[in-house]
Structure 1
Amino acid sequence: MASISPILANSPAAADTGTQPRYTTALSAVTTLFFLWGFITCLNDILIPYLKAIFQLSFAEANLINLCFFGAYFLVSIPAGKLVARVGYKRGMLIGFAVAALGAYLFYPAAAQRVYGLFLGALFVLASGITILQVAANPYVAILGPAKSASARLTLTQAFNSLGTFLAPLLGSALILSNLPKLNTAASAATIDVTAVQIPYLVIGTALLLISLMLSRVNLPQIVPATEAVSAVDDRSTRAWHYRHLVLGVVGIFAYVGAEVAIGSHIVSYLSLSSVMSDILIYVRNLAANLGLQRFINPQNTEEAAGIMVSFYWGAAMVGRFAGAYLLRKFSPAKLLAFNAVSAAVLILISINTTGVIAMWSLLAVGLMNSIMWPVIFPLALSGLGRHTEEGSGLLCTAVVGGALVPMLFGVVADHSGLRLALLLPVLCYLYIVWYGLRGSRHTAAA
């Protein structure tokens, strides 16, 4: 297991002052950011089938949505890391909010013009703002407290990120997918109500600005990562990418985000297959009735019913992160990461080889296994970086481009060989994460 302590060796929380500083207010403020970008990111899972229907897209073409959204991480993360290092965590987050709000507002003219390219451009701007927020907030949470609890603390804040991803499919399905016509043809696509996507993103843009205003009034403590004390193995390094465990962690983030997004973005299409769920519309209606929620959950078509089930995928991640915040205080983060990755691969293989409720619930349960992957890989990879922490955070966030490239490859395989075979791609991603947890996260100087 790689130690996380060196990241925080010189932070105020770790200093020998006789008392531990309390950062409850600051941590609560930053946690709201995790909730909001979880909500925004997960709306892509609803946006993909919606735009696929409007523009009659193939799976590969529909995944241009993920390419533009997560591609922004690849292009913006390193400049964002330099920006945050220059202006500080708080100002970096405020800039991120402003850029993200602009992207959300651009959805209004994009929908009015019914031009796919404008949608993609709006998504890129929105994702650029989210990227700046990610680069600023993730290391800030890691530094904001005792070093030994960095993984647990980041897992707890990520749980609120998962709360956003849980709510987004429910609201998105009701507001967006319910407006899809029963016949998926070019003629019926022309009748789709574009205000279904305009209004939600106008609300999101306004919420981003309001939270930015509130954050500007919160007194966030100035936390500076260690600038001098670095571990002996790192003394020969001059840049962040000289740390082997960071470079391998970048690949780990790439694999994790790629697998998670590839699955989440195609659950609606997967569960809509008659070979997987013979009638998911009836199943979801009966499930809502059994839970006494029929007044709130009453899907009108197959896509909306499948979209509702996406909330269980992300909801499982939320439950797993709350549980993980406790478990990571009891068990080795690296070993728990490997266990979850093995479990995710097994669950996908079960889904591929079964049908009906087993195929559905085994795939949805992968969300539970995903729960701790980001908040464990991130601090493991940043461990011992000292003055290179911001640069390392930028590199790690750059790896979120996996959410663009892996789903694109997934879509190509799905177009040619079907969704079941395409699910083998996430299995390969999880197998790498198993190796990273067991071996790759160990501190070893780069050659």
Structure 2
Amino acid sequence: MQPIATPPVKQTGNNKGQTFAFILITSLFFLWGFAHNLDPILIPHLKKSFTLSTVQATLVDSAVFAAYFIMAIPAGVLMKKFGYKTGIITGLLTFALGSFLFVPAANTQSYTFFLIALFIIACGLATLETAANPYATALGDPETGTFRLNLAQSFNGLAAALAPIAGARIILTKGYTDGQLNAMTEGARKLALAAEASSVKMPYIILGTILVIIALAFSFTKLPKIQQTEEHPTSQSIFHAFKHKHLSWGVVAQFFYVGAQVSVFSLFILYATKSASITEVKAADYLGVCGAAFLIGRISGTVLMKFIKPNVLLAIYAIINVALCAVAITGHGMITVYNAIGICFFMSIMFPTIFALGIKGLGGDTEFGSSLIIMSIVGGAIIPRFFGMISDATGNIQNGYIVPLVCFVVIAVFGLSGYKIISKTDVETAIDPGNLG
């Protein structure tokens, strides 16, 4: 197990308080995992309801992950000024607001309104992730930071297993088949599709209510404070964080990783229904299996990190996924579904491992470094659109897997060499003529 480089900190509160705080923080990982893994259900649902192309349907991901790029720095500034607790409560309430906006979005039958609601949800998620990821790593012994973050992220994997199965039965099963829609008059078809779009209201009302309750719980809970020591004062500029070469690499690797993950998960139902000729609900069940594989992979990967260096395990998993993406492009039938499940298993450790390696040794630059890596989640808004464009241009969604294949190559390079801690200041010092001979 490699030590995570969290900022040298002093913590207030006893171990019991830290344990309870970690349980609360872990619940957040489940909540945003559940929200994200409803998106693969929304994409085919809204695609049919609004008669969209694959590229247009990926605007769901664009709306969600663009928010991470926009909100990451403001969220970091918010926490630097008011603390992690304020950031978490703000994120939960913003998340809840976006969930409640699904009601007017469905009532007005506007795809744009749905995208706005998803964007606001994601602003809340970005704030939560900017707070929770570094807080989880710093809430305890720095030597076990990577392990602790992977453990918390395991509940994100649990949500990935449950959300598609639950969402499919609440949303997809209430729709009409293509045959039924084609048999309707144009007016009846519009009414039917409008009714389909409205089926998303209740799940998001329930979700928003739960979020408000959890925000109240956080407001009445005393969380241990994580403070910088005088040895590593807080950085005053986000640009200062870029002196760390491994952070820059981490930002790039996370950009491509999130793009790959979103491409695989969000487009899985569209992919499986074409490559294996199964129904949407059946595909959603297999997406739940993907989530379970993701969870198992994260738990087993967390254990393996006690024996294998995190960067080495990251590189191995990325190389395996390069091979699996090749099969996703060329395979046929159910083998493509099982192959995608394998990709999800080997993706499992990537986000927290890249995050932990990227912020390692940043000291006072940790908050800004965390914001930069969270900003790189914008890859989920950009990369799936290339997946969609290739799929639409070639008429075969399987060809889109060339996109995550390239992403995993970049991640492998980060695991092999990009993770190494070399700041630009160190390089400048090493090449200073005054240091020669």
Per the normalisation by structure 2, the TM-score is: 0.90
**Mean CA deviation greater in 91-100 or 144-153:** 144-153
CA distance in 2, matches of 1:123, 1:197: 12
CA distance in 2, matches of 1:40, 1:359: 26
Is 2:145 the partner of 1:150? yes
Deviations 1:385-411 (A, max 9, x none): 111111111101000001100011111
Is 2:26 the partner of 1:31? yes
Match of 1:261 in 2: 262
Is 2:106 the partner of 1:111? yes
Which residue, out of 132, 139, 158, partners 2:134?
Answer: 139
Deviations 1:332-383 (A, max 9, x none): 0000000111111111212222212211101121111111101111111101
Which residue, out of 325, 334, 358, partners 2:335?
Answer: 358
Match of 2:227 in 1: 224
Deviation, structure 1 residue 5: 4.9
CA distance in 2, matches of 1:114, 1:79: 32
Deviations 1:237-258 (A, max 9, x none): 9711221100110011111100
Which 5+ residue runs of structure 1 have no aligned equivalent?
Answer: 14-18, 281-301
Match of 2:325 in 1: 348
Is 2:173 the partner of 1:178? yes
Structure with more of its chain in helix, by fraction: 2
Is 2:276 the partner of 1:277? yes
CA distance in 2, matches of 1:226, 1:314: 39
Give me the CA root mean square deviation: 2.1
| AA in 2 matched with 1:351 | A
| AA in 2 matched with 1:52 | K
Is 2:204 the partner of 1:209? no
Match of 2:202 in 1: 199
Contact 1:60 1:412 in 2 (8 A): yes
Provide the secondary structure at the position in 1 that maps to 2:199. Answer: helix
Deviation, structure 1 residue 227: 5.0
Contact 1:149 1:329 in 2 (8 A): no
Deviation, structure 1 residue 422: 0.8
Distance 1:40 1:238, change over 3 A: closer
Deviation, structure 1 residue 217: 2.0
Distance 1:138 1:63, change over 3 A: same
CA distance in 2, matches of 1:385, 1:227: 14
| AA in 1 matched with 2:266 | S
CA distance in 1, matches of 2:307, 2:228: 26
CA distance in 2, matches of 1:227, 1:5: 20
Contact 1:104 1:122 in 2 (8 A): yes
Contact 2:21 2:223 in 1 (8 A): yes
Is 2:247 the partner of 1:242? no
| AA in 2 matched with 1:95 | T
Contact 2:95 2:120 in 1 (8 A): yes
| AA in 2 matched with 1:219 | K
Which residue, out of 256, 274, 297, partners 1:320?
Answer: 297
Match of 1:92 in 2: 87
CA distance in 2, matches of 1:31, 1:365: 25
Deviations 1:10-60 (A, max 9, x none): 4449xxxxx978721110010000000000011111000000001100011
**Mean CA deviation greater in 19-28 or 215-224:** 19-28
Contact 2:7 2:362 in 1 (8 A): no
CA distance in 1, matches of 2:70, 2:294: 27
| AA in 2 matched with 1:77 | A
| AA in 1 matched with 2:26 | T
